[in-house]
Structure 1
Amino acid sequence: MLDQILNLVKQYGQQSVVENPDVPNEYNNQVMAEAANTITSGFQNMASGGGLQNILSLFTGGGQQQGSGGILNNPMVSMMIGHLASRLVSKMNLNPATANNVASNLIPNVISSLVNRTASNAPEDSGFNLNGLIGSLTGGGAAADGFDFQGLLNQVSGQQPGGAGIDIGQIISQVTQNAQAHQQSQQSGGLANLISGFFK
C-alpha cells in the first residue's frame, strides 16, 4: 500500500509541486518525499496512538463527503497539512504562503484519491485495500490477526451485508499494539530512506 501512496504523491505532485513556479526545481523530489512521509507517518502515528477509528471513519465517511471540503474538515488531514507546511518552511526554506499552498493542495488530493480508490471495486483499484494500508502500519500483511478491514469498509458502504458481533475495542487495541511495535522497529529511519529513495 505504501507504493500506492507514493505513486499518488507523484501523480498529484506533478501539478502542485513540479509545475509550481514557486517551488524551486531542485526541491521537487524533496517536497514530494516530505509529503509522502507526512501522510504515512500521520497514519502510523494515528494507528499507534489508538486512533484506528479515526482512520476507519476517514475511509467510511470520506467517499460521501468528497470534494476538498469534506476531506479538509477531517482533523487528521488538517494535522498532516499543517505538519507538511511547517516542514517545507523549516527544511527547504519555502515561503510560508507557498508551503501552505502546496500542502493544502497535495495532502487532500492524495488522501481523497486514496479513500475513493480504496472504496472502489474497479479492477484498476485492486491494489488499494484497507487491509494493506493497516497491515503496512502494523508491520504485517494482515492487521489485527487477520481481521478483514476491507470487508468492514464494504459493509459500511453498503457493498456487502453486515456482520454482527465485531469487538471493535479489541481490534483497536490489537492494531494499536502492533503499530507501536512496528513504529519502534522503524526508528532507524528505514521508512524515510525508502521514501526518499523512491523520489530520487
Structure 2
Amino acid sequence: MLENLFNLIKEHSTEAVINNPAIPNEKNDAVISDATHSVADGLQGVLAGGGLQAVLSLFNNNNNSSGGNGFLNNPIVSNIISSFTNKLTNNHGIAADQAGGIASSLIPSVLSSLVNRTNDPNNSSFSIGSIISSLAGGGNAPGGSGGLDIGSLVSRFASGSLDANNDGHVGIDDIISKVTGGAQQQQAQSSSGGLMDIISGFMK
C-alpha cells in the first residue's frame, strides 16, 4: 500500500513539487517521500488513538462529496497538512508560508484521489482493508495479513473471536480494539525509522 501511495502522490506532485521553483529538483523524491510519510503516519496515528470510525468516515465518498477542497475541514486532513508543512520547513528549508501553500495544495488532492480509487470497484490498487491492514500491522488487524475481509469478520463475529476487550460482547468496539492495538505496535516500530525506511526505499 505504501508504494502505491508514494506513486499516487508522485502523480499529483507535478505543480506543487516537481515544477515548483521553491523545491530543488534533487529534492523532489525526498519531498514526495515526506508527503507519503505524513499521510501514512497521520492515518496510523488516528487508528492508534482508537479512531477507526473516523478513518472509515474519511473514506466514505458520501461524506466527501465536495472533493479535495472539502477535505480541508476534516481534522485528520488538517493534521496531515500541518505535519507535511513542518517537514517541508524543517527537512528542506522551505519558508513557512510557501510550505503551507504546497501542503494545502497537494494533500487534499491526494486524499481525494485516494478516496475515489479506494471506492472504485474497478481499481485494485487500493482498498480500505489493505490500507488499514498495512497501518495496523497486517496480521494484527481484523482479517489477517490480507486486510479487512468482511466475510471473515462476519464469521468471526459468530464465533466470538473478535472479543478483543474480553467484555463478553463482540461488536465494533472489538474491531476498533484490534486495529488500535495493531496500529500502536506499528507506531512503536516506526518510531525507530521503520515506516520512513520503507518509504525511502521507493525513491529512485
TM-score, normalisation: structure 1? 0.84
In the alignment, which residue of structure 2 is the partner of 1:144? 142
Once the two structures are overlaid, the 10-residue window that deviates more, 59-68 or 187-196, is 59-68
For residues 51-200 of structure 1, the aligned pairs below 5 Å read 51-61=51-61, 64-122=64-122, 125-140=123-138, 143-146=141-144, 149=148, 167-200=171-204
Give CA-to-partner distance per residue, 1:141-197, whole Å, 9 cap, x none: 572245975759xxxxxxxxxxxx982111111110111122223332122112122
Once the two structures are overlaid, the 10-residue window that deviates more, 126-135 or 182-191, is 182-191
- The DSSP-based 3-state class of the residue aligned with 2:192 is coil
In the alignment, which residue of structure 2 is the partner of 1:27? 27
Amino acid at match of 1:132: S
> Displacement of 1:69 after TM fit?
2.4
**C-alpha RMSD of the superposition:** 2.3
Give the 4+ runs in structure 1 shifted more than 3 A: 61-64, 145-152
- The DSSP-based 3-state class of the residue aligned with 2:77 is helix
Quote the Cα distance in structure 2 between the aligned partners of 1:186 and 1:48: 12
In the alignment, which residue of structure 2 is the partner of 1:48? 48
Does the aligned pair in 1 maintain the 2:72–2:108 contact within 8 Å?
yes
In the alignment, which residue of structure 1 is the partner of 2:160? none
Does the aligned pair in 1 maintain the 2:57–2:63 contact within 8 Å?
no
Quote the Cα distance in structure 1 between the aligned partners of 2:121 and 2:199: 28
Quote the Cα distance in structure 1 between the aligned partners of 2:181 and 2:149: 20
Distance 1:131 1:15, change over 3 A: same
> Displacement of 1:41 after TM fit?
0.6
Give CA-to-partner distance per residue, 1:26-74, whole Å, 9 cap, x none: 3212211110110011111111111111100001146642322211111
Greater RCO, CA 8 A, separation 6+:
1
Give CA-to-partner distance per residue, 1:99-125, whole Å, 9 cap, x none: 111101111111111101101112xx1
- The DSSP-based 3-state class of the residue aligned with 2:131 is helix
Structure 1 gaps, min length 5: 153-164
Does the aligned pair in 2 maintain the 1:62–1:115 contact within 8 Å?
no
Quote the Cα distance in structure 1 between the aligned partners of 2:6 and 2:139: 18
Does the aligned pair in 2 maintain the 1:48–1:175 contact within 8 Å?
yes
Does the aligned pair in 2 maintain the 1:5–1:36 contact within 8 Å?
yes
> Displacement of 1:98 after TM fit?
1.5
Task: Name the larger-Rg structure.
Answer: 2
Structure 2 gaps, min length 5: 152-168
